[in-house]
Amino acid sequence: MDKKSLMVRFFLVFLVFSGMPMSSFAQNQNVDALMSKVTSHLQQKFGGPNNASIKVFPPETELNLAPCNKLDISVPGGPSSINGNIRVGVKCLQTNGWTIFLSANVQQKKTYFVAKRQIPYGEILKAEDLVPAQDFPDNIPMDAVLDLRQAVGRSVVEIVGENAPILTRHFSNQSVISNGQAVKVLVQGSGFKITSDGKALGNASAGQFVKIKLNSGQIVIAVAKTQGFAEIVK
What are the 10-residue block averages of pLDDT along the chain, 234 residues in total? 52 46 59 92 86 89 87 78 85 91 91 95 89 92 89 86 92 83 88 90 84 94 86 77
CB neighbour list of residue 114: distance below 8 Å, 6 or more residues apart: 130, 131, 133, 163, 164, 165, 166
Q: What are phi and psi of 171, to 5 degrees?
A: -110, 150
Would you identify the CATH topology of the domain 110-170?
A: Type Iii Antifreeze Protein Isoform Hplc 12 (3.90.1210)
201-219: burial string, b at 16+ Cβ within 10 Å, e else:
bbebbbbbebbbebeeeee
CB neighbour list of residue 98: distance below 8 Å, 6 or more residues apart: 65, 66, 68, 91, 92
Three-state DSSP state, 218: coil
Find the DSSP H helices in the chain. 3-18, 31-45
Domain locations in the chain as residue ranges: 26-108, 110-170, 175-233
Q: What is the pLDDT of residue 15?
A: 44
Assign 3-class secondary structure to 170-187. HECCCEEECCCCEEEEEE
Length of the chain: 234
Pairing mode, strands 182-189 and 229-233: parallel
Of the candidates 135, 131, 139, the one whose C-alpha atom is nearest the C-alpha of residue 163 is 131
The CATH architecture to which 175-233 belongs is Roll (2.30)
CA dihedral of 166, 127, 47, 138, whole degrees rounded to 10:
10
| 161/153 Cα distance (integer angstroms) | 18
